[in-house]
Structure 1
Amino acid sequence: MTSRRVLVALAVSGLGLMSCDPAAGVDNKPETPKPDTVLPDTGWELVWQDEFDGPAGSLPASERWRPEVGGDGWGNGQFEYNTNRAQNASLDGEGHLAITARKERFQGNDYTSARLSTKGRFTHTYGRIEARIMLPAGRGIWPAFWMLGADVDQVGWPECGEIDIMEHRGQIPSIVRSSLHGPGYSGGQNIGREHAVGGGKLQTDFHVYAVEIEPGRVRFMLDETVYFEATPDNLPSGRKWVYDHPFFIILNVAVGGSFVGPPDSSTVFPQTMKVDYVRVYARPTP
């Protein structure tokens, strides 16, 4: 556990789905310098980052991110076709990445969006991975910040391991979920927890979503509040812990799917997830 003060939040249970009006958020990003190479009071050292600085409409840096293109449902019954177009993923000229889901007929799908990953560009084994994000809103909108084991092409899913740092149902304004998927505890049987955010909607402000991965331990945070920590003891009996190897990062906004259900007449499009930065830290080598 790091030395900074944290609060352990209780799991949120028994929450039903509710509709909400999409909120048009404004950036309250403070005017701060670029991050120091060391995260204060923790010993974490910055090893990789994207601050998303650049002209409006420009594509994410290809040396850091690759678009994962397709529209076959991604194993979750999603409705969107993920493209490599600037209309779905581009810089906004104000220091953010904008991933935008649109209602439009494209390649046989009724919606478009984007899914970006660092696969083949960057992987990391142990460390702190964080992003500052403002979420989209609306029934059937499913934004996520997550990781997959870099050996996914060799061993398949869920044997590679999946770390969901943050996923969100757009129809529930104040709830996020974090979870682990592995062999024998994946999909609806994952090991995870939901967390409620007080004092406002996730769609009207930026929040920092983070995971800290150490040997035999993964902890999840929102704005430095630790609300879920998992170790091999949390797994079903006899199941394998698969988080002590390299992972790559994914950012995406899905439309529909098993986690959120379909959009309906209350869902307003387009919907955009704004990402202020993604930063990766590691412990210094002795």
Structure 2
Amino acid sequence: MTDSQVISDVMDPARASALCAVLGLPGPVAPGDALPPFFHQVHFWDPQPPGALGRDGHPKVGGLIPDTGLPRRMWAGGRLAFAAPLRAGVPAEKHSRFEDVTRKSGRSGALAFVTLRHEIRQEGQLCLTEWQDLVYRPEPDPSDPRPDPPRAPETAQDRRAVQFSPTLLFRYSALTFNGHRIHYDETYARLVEGYEGLVVHGPLLAQLMMLMAEDLLGPLAGFSFRGASPLMHHETAELCRDGRRFWVRAGDGRLCMTAAAEAD
């Protein structure tokens, strides 16, 4: 295991332009343009050959991420501190470090939370610090009762309806080089990992909330988010806002993700 990693990227404007297209945002992005928050997710790929992948399509653990002995991975949440805008077409370096692993017992059994810290610099300047929290869980047991998901708040200052097609999830997976099969292989998602459909990416939900926050509050200084329950591709959801608090509400009223924004 190594506890650190450095990846360089030219921050190709074409990738940012493609993400704009996927999200229905104006484009294209030109060299030198400031990137919207969280767009670095389409950069800093770390491609691995097929033999280095696990059954779920992610790279096998044991490198930057320790092997916790638990097979099912999800993005639990994260926190970002924005120091300066990242700019398209300007070479950048992403320094990643393993920070911590914490074991807990949850409603579905044993859990392991892994925290990674990423720092991204352009032209020697620290632009972004990100703490990424991953959760690893045991295999699903069909005989176990499903826990009741948390309920979302009923009131909000602002609401925006969102929908997610399999095509959208596939294109987002491709742009972020995310091979996790729960986002594009419905048979795998249902039969192996026990979901009720394709799972909407946690970072995609966070991305949409960040864009909403920037639209309503102005440039962001920080943003944090935490998953509460998975959202399936066939569900309609709402992005909700109350002050600087944000959340994702599924059509049945359950809470899928919470977030908090810090404006400049």
TM-score, normalised by the number of residues in structure 1:
0.26
Larger RCO: 1 or 2 (CA < 8 Å, sep 6+): 1
Higher relative helix content? 2
